[in-house]
Structure 1
Amino acid sequence: MMDRFFDLDFSQLEDIPAHLSRYTTPQTTVSEKGMVSLNSVMLKTVGSQRMFRARLSPNGYWLVLYRQGEPNLRFSAKSGHASHPELAQLLREKGFSLPAAYTMEWCQEEEAWVGRCQEMAPPPALSLLEPPSKPQRKPRRRRSA
């Protein structure tokens, strides 16, 4: 049976990285209107903490949520949403298309959640979409008298 794999050195195989899913990865999203949201994984991970000192890198690609310091971002206790239109405006000024999603990871040295932006692709232009097909009307059958 091993003869079929004569040119494969099993000791040289490398593990592939784990698939990151929004169901397993902490994420923070900023909507067009400035709604900042923690996904369910992030909510579970931060526990009861809902106030953070949020800071943004000069290019906007990094969002850092510090557990310590004067809070400037407060999420609702249940839903994990916060309205912050100023953040959305700041990201637009830096050239980001919204919504923007930040994949978050804990940084022990900073005692903060650090996220790298994963810009979400905008939806296709309506002019590029095919118009919906009109339902075909069945011809009426005449009743014979």
Structure 2
Amino acid sequence: MHDYFTARSSFQRWADRRRTDPWIAEDAERVFRFSQRTDEQKPQEKQPTGPQRGRPELNTPNPVASVMPLLSFDRPQWVDDIVYGAVATAAGASKGRLNVKPGCVLAALHLAAVSTGAVKTADMSIRTAQTIAKAARHAAHGIAFYLDRHPAIRTRLMFE
């Protein structure tokens, strides 16, 4: 019962902070303008000109995308442990340092579908994006497994 009230009060603090955010009107206007674009203004997907070569990009649905905003706000220790284990297992380490940052994997866990293209930024190599996506898939399945084993936590997250 205590965990429910703690999580509820932290959510209320976040909601109060969000309501007093001076940029909320500008964010809403930007979302509205983006959703009102016509078909001519929307970016066109590239049409393949020749035969497609290579392996198709892996696009994995994220089973924990709906609860990740709450989990990353509260940041329970078990989430950090699962993400660290996923990075150490899937991405590995060299010279005593992890090959990718756990923060990048946490950011990728907010995506509805984890893919290399969705994770990649302009200043990131394709190999790094592939490694982050691999670790994010591993962490997503680990978090989903943890929530399956602890149904009280899952139900508490669904009610928030």
Higher RCO, Cα 8 Å, sep 6+: 2
TM-score, normalised with respect to structure 2 = 0.22
TM-score when normalising by structure 1 = 0.23
**Greater share of helix:** 2
Higher relative strand content? 1
- Structure showing greater Rg: 1
